[in-house]
Amino acid sequence: MDAAKDLITHHQKAQAIIGMQSWQEAVLAAEITSREKVPILSFSAPAVTPPFISSRWPYLLRMTKDDSLQIQCVADIIGFYGWQRVIVIFETDVYGGYSGILALLSGALKNVSSEIEYLLAFPHFSSMSDPKTVIHDELNKLWSHQSRVFIVVQSSIELASHLFMEANKIGLMRKDTVWITTDSVASHLDSMNSSVLLSMRGVLGMKTYFTETSASFQNFSAKFQSSFRYRYPKEHKLEPGIHALRAYDTVAILAMAMKRLAKNSTSETLLETVASSRFNGLSGKIQFKDGELSSSPIYQIINVVQKSYIELGFWSQDSGFSQRIESNEHTRRNVERKKEVLDGRIYWPGGLLKPPTGWVMPTIKNPLKIGIPGRTTFEMFVKVEKGKKPTGFCIDVFDKAVKLLGYDLEPYEFEAYDGSYDDLVNQVYFKKYDAVVGDITVLANRSNYVDFAMPYVESGLLMIVPIKPEGSHKALLFMKPFTWKMWLVTGAIFTYTMFVVWFLEHRSNPEFRGPWRNQLGTTLWFTFSSLFFAHRERVGSNFSRIVILVWLFVVFVVTSSYTASLTSMLTVQQLEPTITDIESLKRSNSKIGCDGDSFVLKYLENVQGFDKKNIINVKNEYDYPDQFKSGNISAAFLELPYGKVFLSKYGKDYKAVETTQRFEGLSFVSSHLH
């Protein structure tokens, strides 16, 4: 930045500075010009405009917008075709800056359900002693990755030329590939030689749009081509590009500002005059806001074909995709405009006429690696045996799903993973596995890192407890149909009836006479046998008959109720659980069992509030009955599919008493597996 300082100070006394191709250069120069109060008009801008930029560098004016809009355009293209993994290629500047645009691209891709699989960073072209070898070696690293969607987001024209020629030479621009470039490359296509353009056939790009029909442009273009042809007679591309137009507009701004200052007697500064400029330039509308052009650029979507390119349509922040600039298409659905611009008219790498898949099929050398649980509690879902293909319900579902695909997924290989289910899911995120097949529950925290297929089994959490065992208390089971109060009332009525019958009959009825023991026994037997309508003694008093009638009615009601209650108790007695709810387990400080490799352990501890020391890790379905019988656990918490399997085998001794939580279900896991 010594040159900028020399221009301002010493004998040159520059009143303004134009230039700075990189944002880092512009910032360093702005630090000097701000101190000296000299405006600088830069052709570069940051990836994302930081806050307070105008107050930090008040003398820095940017003749362009930041990169956020063209990154959004890239993401819209990726989202339209559904490419879920991309490889990003970029060139660092001389200061090593690139993090801003990558963070911007990563966020935009996430919004369209895509992600960056690999970053290929090249040093600045001027710093490479042997560019051809460096580019060749770096591009060869891409063969080991599955994605074939390449985005060149930041590159000099020198690097881009070598990059595409080398990629074409080693076969990275075949029919299964996608190449997309941003404005840094696409706006220079007119200046590339024919050999480079031939190697770029099928590339999609976006270049900043400017009108070529105005009289002012036609006049400038004629003068520009005449001058350019005179200076560079060997060049064939003579038309001015966006950078030439911006340079012309920048000089025009300063020229008009200086004329205004010369005529204006006020104390207005050159910076204020330039910042207040407002006119239609060759590159577009010129008006500044917060130190940058206020108008958002329009990008022209182009497709390289043979030694030139065709124009597919346009993209803008307000209207999205469209085929014409001045139209009423903004009133239509953006998805319809996307189809008009991007659907069916594109020449893809290798001459493909339909959108590429954007990824390569697995090969024998590089098969898909599919992880499965190495140890499962219930082998019905996944069973791993050494030297044999995994079996189980989940494997069967996967095999059926593969056959329904529109392409052959093979070859692929299963690999057992001995760890928790959370760790198994994480291996997809860490790229150890391309997918995971098994009894994996769909959880919100897992969905933040991987994709799940549609659930194929309902999931939830069951609390299973043993049924009360048969014991000596069954001998008193006949007492349970009535409460003690009911027994007491029934006994009182019995005694009262016996006394009234004796009182009414013992004077006149010879069967109720004799010694008092005989009278008591006869009366007791008569009243008791009437319970079963088996009494033989005759009563002579009408009052006694009325009492007996009431008593028999009571007997009928009591015996019917007793019989029904006892029958019901004998029928359902074996299904009575030992514990009925979770709170009773917590209050009694009982121990519970679960699969410690699944999410259930953390759920019981963190959500349900069980003490960790009371949670027993049961590793196999066959261990649960032993744990119950030995008294190690009072209840077991099983996911719904496991609970159904367990009850189908041991249902006569156990019962599910509570469903504590519902989840989305069991599914396959992938990291955006196509």
The reported pTM is 0.62
For the chain, helix, strand, coil in percent to 5 are: 45, 20, 35
Same domain, yes or no: 538 and 567 = yes
- Residue 150 reports pLDDT greater than 90: yes
At residue 592 the predicted structure's pLDDT band, cuts being 50, 70 and 90, is very high
In eight-state DSSP terms, residue 507 is T
Mean pLDDT of 439-447: 85
At residue 86 the predicted structure's pLDDT band, cuts being 50, 70 and 90, is very high
Question: Considering Cα of 36, then 41, then 44, then 49, what sign does the dihedral take?
Answer: positive
Same domain, yes or no: 428 and 301 = no
Q: Which residue did the predictor score with more confidence, 457 or 116?
A: 116
- Residue 594 reports pLDDT greater than 80: yes
| Whole-angstrom distance, CA of residue 156 vs CA of residue 151 | 14
Least confident of 9-23, 69-83, 290-304: 9-23
Same domain, yes or no: 46 and 72 = no
Highest mean pLDDT: which of 33-42, 113-122, 538-547?
113-122
Same domain, yes or no: 356 and 375 = no
Residue 146 lies in a domain: yes
CATH of the domain at 337: 3.40.50.2300
Same domain, yes or no: 404 and 516 = no
Residue 253 lies in a domain: no
Q: Which residue did the predictor score with more confidence, 447 or 3?
A: 447
Same domain, yes or no: 73 and 139 = yes
**pLDDT (0 to 100) of residue 165:** 94
Tell which of 308, 330, 360 closes a domain: 360
Q: Which residue did the predictor score with more confidence, 543 or 278?
A: 278
Same domain, yes or no: 377 and 396 = yes
- Residue 166 reports pLDDT greater than 90: yes
Reference 180, options 212, 206, 144, 198; nearest CA is: 206
- Share of residues in the chain with pLDDT > 70 (%): 80
Within the chain, what is the greatest distance between any pair of CA atoms?
153
Residue for token pair 């069991």: 666
Mean pLDDT of 375-380: 87
| Whole-angstrom distance, CA of residue 553 vs CA of residue 547 | 10
Residue 133 lies in a domain: yes
Same domain, yes or no: 58 and 74 = no
At residue 559 the predicted structure's pLDDT band, cuts being 50, 70 and 90, is confident
Domain tally for the chain? 5
- Residue 21 reports pLDDT greater than 80: no
- Residue 87 reports pLDDT greater than 90: yes
| Whole-angstrom distance, CA of residue 270 vs CA of residue 14 | 12
The tally of CA atoms less than 13 A away on the side-chain side of residue 355 is: 15
CA distances from 152 to 24, 191, 205, 385 (A): 20, 18, 9, 47
Residue 278 lies in a domain: no
Strands of the sheet with 204-208, listed across from one edge:
115-122, 85-91, 149-154, 178-181, 204-208, 299-305, 308-316, 320-322
Residue 114 lies in a domain: yes
Least confident of 105-114, 188-197, 233-242: 233-242
Alpha carbon 466 to its chain centroid, in Å, reads 40
| Whole-angstrom distance, CA of residue 71 vs CA of residue 112 | 12
Same domain, yes or no: 428 and 384 = yes
Residue 228 lies in a domain: no
pLDDT in tens, 406-426: 666 778 889 999 888 889 999
Least confident of 354-368, 402-416, 568-582, 630-644: 568-582
Q: Can you state the angle between helices 68-81 and 99-110, rounded to 10 degrees?
A: 40
- Residue 577 reports pLDDT greater than 90: no
Same domain, yes or no: 89 and 174 = yes
- Residue 486 reports pLDDT greater than 80: no
**pLDDT (0 to 100) of residue 588:** 84
**pLDDT (0 to 100) of residue 88:** 94
| Whole-angstrom distance, CA of residue 52 vs CA of residue 38 | 19
At residue 674 the predicted structure's pLDDT band, cuts being 50, 70 and 90, is very low
**pLDDT (0 to 100) of residue 539:** 64
Residue 641 lies in a domain: yes
- Residue 83 reports pLDDT greater than 60: yes
Both tokens assigned to 452: 């799940």
Tell which of 427, 457, 487 closes a domain: 457
Domain enclosing residue 391, as ranges: 368-457
- Share of residues in the chain with pLDDT > 90 (%): 21
Q: Residue 60: helix, strand or coil by DSSP?
A: strand
| Whole-angstrom distance, CA of residue 207 vs CA of residue 295 | 16
Mean pLDDT of 549-578: 70
Q: Helices marked H in 41-123 — which ranges?
A: 53-56, 68-81, 99-110
- Residue 4 reports pLDDT greater than 60: no
Mean pLDDT of 369-389: 89
Render 548-568 in DSSP notation, one character per residue: HHHHHHHHHHHHHHHHHHHHH
Q: Which residue did the predictor score with more confidence, 103 or 549?
A: 103
- Residue 532 reports pLDDT greater than 70: no
Same domain, yes or no: 551 and 638 = no
CATH of the domain at 589: 3.40.190.10
Average pLDDT of the chain is: 81
pLDDT in tens, 304-344: 998 889 999 899 888 888 888 754 444 445 566 667 788 76
At residue 437 the predicted structure's pLDDT band, cuts being 50, 70 and 90, is very high
Mean pLDDT of 15-39: 78
Provide the total of helices (H) and of strands (E) in the chain, helices listed first: 23, 23
At residue 238 the predicted structure's pLDDT band, cuts being 50, 70 and 90, is confident
Same domain, yes or no: 537 and 662 = no
At residue 76 the predicted structure's pLDDT band, cuts being 50, 70 and 90, is very high
**pLDDT (0 to 100) of residue 472:** 43
- Residue 493 reports pLDDT greater than 90: no
Residue 221 lies in a domain: no
Q: In this structure, are strands 412-417 and 368-373 parallel, antiparallel, or unpaired?
A: parallel
The answer to whether 302 touches 204, Cβ cutoff 8 Å, is: yes
- Residue 369 reports pLDDT greater than 50: yes
Tell which of 523, 543, 575 closes a domain: 575
